[in-house]
Chain A
Amino acid sequence: MPVRYIERANRIAAERGTTPYQYTVHAAAPPLASLAKPLAQCRVALITSGGVHHVRQEPFEERDDTTFRELPKDVPLNELRIRHGGYNHADADRDPNCVLPLTVMRQMEAEGVIGALASPVFSFMGRVPSRLRLMQETAPGLAKRLRAADVDACLLVPA
């Protein structure tokens, strides 16, 4: 049985007397956008909310950070670092592929499974309480960057 994270967060918040993170509940998912061409011809963007940053970039704030980091798709994995308060990133510290699967996306690009891995790849912080700011400021900024990169599809890895 999958872990029920929302109930767990509510229980922990009640025990501590704090306010739990309010997950957005939608009645329906948005209509599907159609893939314009076969995957083997698509430029695919990779986006994580695992709090990954380059060692020379400013780390994320653990609370309510709506900024994102751009990483070149050929960034060496050993130059990546993680700042995130919402999950245990001990394994992802050792292998960032756990939350930002660069190695296999590069393989798939080389083998022609996808047309290309878009560069840069994008990294966010998860569980942002300022959802309005995320939706109204961050998301359009991201969409603009993705369009500039001529992206056909997106792989999202929330962590």
Chain B
Amino acid sequence: MGLLARVLEEQGLPTATITSARDITEAVKPPRAVFVNFPLGHEAGAPFDIALQRRIVGDALAILESATVSGTIIDLAYAYPPDPGWEQTFV
């Protein structure tokens, strides 16, 4: 997806990416991203938590207007609701 973001941006289409894999995004370098520290498959939020999904998507769209430096990654502070420390036990 980061590769597609780069191509679309190069063709003049501004892109914002929601990532939950910060290291992959740091490597691939899409133009603008927000990082959500949730397990993969929850990039836009936890299931049925529309309020949280709305905040994440809103934050992602906001960087379309606010980012001034290419390669920007904004760390969002949301904790994964079912298990805020999920990454400690992830193997």
Residues of A within 8 A of B (CB): 1-7, 23-26, 28-35, 38-39, 42, 44, 47, 49-50, 86-92, 94-95, 97-101, 103-105, 107-108, 113-114, 124, 126, 131, 134-135, 138-140, 142-143, 146, 151-159
Distance to closest chain B CB from A4 (angstroms) = 5
Name 11 A/B residue pairs within 8 A (Cβ), A-sorted.
Answer: A23-B24, A32-B69, A33-B13, A92-B47, A98-B41, A101-B44, A126-B1, A142-B4, A154-B5, A154-B16, A156-B1
On whether the beta carbons of B37 and A142 are closer than 8 Å, the reply is no
Distance to closest chain A CB from B67 (angstroms) = 7
Q: Is B61 an interface residue (CB 8 A)?
A: yes
Instruction: Point out the residues of chain B lying under 8 angstroms from A92, CB to CB.
Output: 41-42, 47
Distance to closest chain B CB from A122 (angstroms) = 9
Residue of A nearest to B51 (CB): A104
CB within 8 Å for A107 and B7 given contacts A1-B87, A2-B22, A24-B28: no
User: How long is the Cα–Cα vector from A90 to B42 in the complex, in angstroms?
Assistant: 10
Q: Is B83 an interface residue (CB 8 A)?
A: no
Q: Which 8 A-B pairs have the closest CB atoms?
A: A158-B1, A29-B71, A95-B47, A101-B44, A87-B40, A139-B7, A2-B22, A29-B29
Contact of B14 among A34, A47, A126, A140 (CB under 8 A): A34
Contact of B44 among A3, A32, A135, A157 (CB under 8 A): A157
On whether the beta carbons of A87 and B41 are closer than 8 Å, the reply is yes
